[in-house]
Structure 1
Amino acid sequence: MTRRAHVALVTCFNGDETVNYEATRAQARRQIAAGNDLMVCGTNGDFTALTHDEKIRLCAAIAEEAGDKVRVIANIGCPATFETLQLARAVDGLGLHGIAAITPYFIACTQAGLIRHFSSLADAVTTPVYLYDIPARTQNHIEPATARHLAGHGNIAGIKDSGGTEATVLDYLQVARDMPGFEVYCAPDHLVLWGLQEGCAGVVSGLGNVAPELLARIVSAFNAGDTAAAQEAQRVFAGLRADLYALGFPPAMVKRALFLADPSVGLSRQPALLPDPQQDAAIAAILAARGLD
């Protein structure tokens, strides 16, 4: 299996906080040039700050930009199944490789509720559906037994695990081994190479926004069987993650690092973290030390 890297693409904003679609397309082209696939409207894409119509327009724009060059997965998860279905139907047919849905958030769900939610979604669209587990943000976790049940649905293609624990990834990978056609994508940036070595179909990375070539190097070296090169690229990538994320909320740090190199990405919508001169200086030093400024 050829492993793949998806970058959870940032959403760019103008000074008045409207979406800058052209700048977002430019970021997509940057990732495509590096050889990375894309995820739009994910955590690093400020999806919680986007309106329903903005999400649809972003999905259409990035799908068009990608064409047949790379794969695009769109996160369309909303707190309620009703709105999730509305959004999913609106982007179905855009040529997306997959529709990912973060677990409902704010609303506490039982595992039976999650099964109904994701089954309803998979029934409603023809685009393959990917489960999206990030319990630290949603307080709802897709248990491995639930993933196994959902993997039996003909239109559920896999899961994006953003839980950050190796044990959960391994549990999902066992589901994948038992259920052919079900893929596991590992998200935490410090686990990129480990996830590939364990059998993940690929990774979804937020940090790849900052260092697209470095992320691509980990995956391409792994695919080529060059373990030493993959390990070295992972070492640098993990060091960048540790230093940058130590400064604050990871998606905000990714966005700010990009802004310092390219102001066209803009700030995030409020109440996201405001710029801080001392923090900016620390970010700039981290980027310069790795030749990313």
Structure 2
Amino acid sequence: MSLGPFGRTNAAMVTPFTADGRLDPAAAQELAVRLVDHGGCDGLVLNGTTGESPTTTDAEKEALVRAVVEAVGDRARITAGVGTSDTRHTVELSRAAERAGAHGLLVVTPYYSRPPQDAVADHFRTVADAVGIPVMLYDIPARTGTRIETETMLALAEHPRIAGVKDCGYDLLHSAKVISRTPLAFYAGAEELHLPLRAVGGVGYVSTVANVAGARLRAVWDAYDAGGTAEAARLQGRALPLCELMMCSGLPGTVTAKALLGALGLPSGPVRAPLRCADSAETDRLLRAYRELADGD
């Protein structure tokens, strides 16, 4: 079965570091193999928010892509996060990721400067014009301060290399309108909206929780796609406590994912400042929720 430009069940993969905070490419390869071979993932998104892109260098980003492509690029789609608030820098990162072997690019809306919609569209087109691989737009207005409006997405869908959207807009009406009027592949970027977005035509997800519970999340989509809507809803409900604790408890998803991975003896390492590692009490709560999900039926 073709994985399409970005796969279907993506982990927003953490970036493993050594104990002293250096990039650990070997650990990244180990984690990538586990996520693809045993974690229900047919795609990995690197250098995103969960991958601590604000605190990794351009050279580290490229090295991570090269390492993961080498490990699993023959059996999973590798999408590289390249978005910045600077169009020129984003183009540089995009070309570097393409050279490193990435199959696709994740490009976030320019943040902080809050450009108007025509400038947002020009930013995305400039990046897509600079490369030969597909681009996934990343719509997350709560972080960037600017959303990609419906009309802007409709216009961008005409570009031959703008192929998908990571949807963190929390607006199903907007998403359904764009899905119904364009060929853009929509990926849920918020765990609680995996199933609702699938129901209106979404094709996949990009999930932080998939770092530790990818097979459980994939089971929701597999059930839905097999016609078992009630079973999909049941499985989604079972996963929600862990999703809520990891993503909505006051700690960033990067912190909770690395805490759980470390507690399970899997590659992760510390987070980089200004983030702080979870304390023992927080990690224990996460581990209990993980075990309750893992031990269920």
For 1:222 and 1:64, locate their aligned partners in 2 and report how far apart those are by CA, in whole Å: 32
String of CA shifts for 1:118-169, please: whole Å, max 9, x gaps: 0100110010111111111111211111111111111111211112x1xx24
The residue aligned with 1:133 is: 139
String of CA shifts for 1:200-244, please: whole Å, max 9, x gaps: 011111111121110121122222222233222211111211233
Give the count of matched residue pairs.
288
For 1:63 and 1:55, locate their aligned partners in 2 and report how far apart those are by CA, in whole Å: 12
Q: Tell me, yes or no, if the aligned pair for 1:207 and 1:241 is still in contact at 8 Å.
A: yes
The residue aligned with 1:171 is: 174
For 1:64 and 1:223, locate their aligned partners in 2 and report how far apart those are by CA, in whole Å: 31
Q: Counterpart amino acid of 1:257?
A: L
Q: Tell me, yes or no, if the aligned pair for 1:188 and 1:205 is still in contact at 8 Å.
A: yes
The yes-or-no answer on 1:86 pairing with 2:92 is yes
For 1:94 and 1:274, locate their aligned partners in 2 and report how far apart those are by CA, in whole Å: 30
The residue aligned with 1:21 is: 25
Task: Report the 3-state secondary structure (helix = DSSP H, G, I; strand = E; otherwise coil) of the residue aligned with 1:141.
Answer: coil
The yes-or-no answer on 1:189 pairing with 2:194 is no
Higher mean alpha-carbon deviation, 99-108 vs 4-13, is at 99-108
The residue aligned with 1:156 is: 162
Give aligned-pair identity as a percent: 32
Unaligned runs of 5+ in 2: none
The yes-or-no answer on 1:267 pairing with 2:273 is no
The yes-or-no answer on 1:204 pairing with 2:209 is no
The yes-or-no answer on 1:289 pairing with 2:275 is no
The yes-or-no answer on 1:46 pairing with 2:52 is yes
Unaligned runs of 5+ in 1: none
Deviation at 1:287, TM superposition (A): 2.3
Q: Counterpart amino acid of 2:261?
A: L
String of CA shifts for 1:21-55, please: whole Å, max 9, x gaps: 11111111111113312111111111111101111
The yes-or-no answer on 1:121 pairing with 2:127 is yes
Task: Report the 3-state secondary structure (helix = DSSP H, G, I; strand = E; otherwise coil) of the residue aligned with 1:92.
Answer: helix
Deviation at 1:86, TM superposition (A): 0.5
Deviation at 1:78, TM superposition (A): 1.2
The residue aligned with 2:243 is: 241
The TM-score, its normalising length taken from structure 1, stands at 0.92
The residue aligned with 1:35 is: 40
For 2:95 and 2:267, locate their aligned partners in 1 and report how far apart those are by CA, in whole Å: 31
For 1:122 and 1:10, locate their aligned partners in 2 and report how far apart those are by CA, in whole Å: 25
The TM-score, its normalising length taken from structure 2, stands at 0.90
Deviation at 1:291, TM superposition (A): 3.2
Q: Counterpart amino acid of 2:162?
A: I
The residue aligned with 1:12 is: 16
Q: CA RMSD in A?
A: 2.0
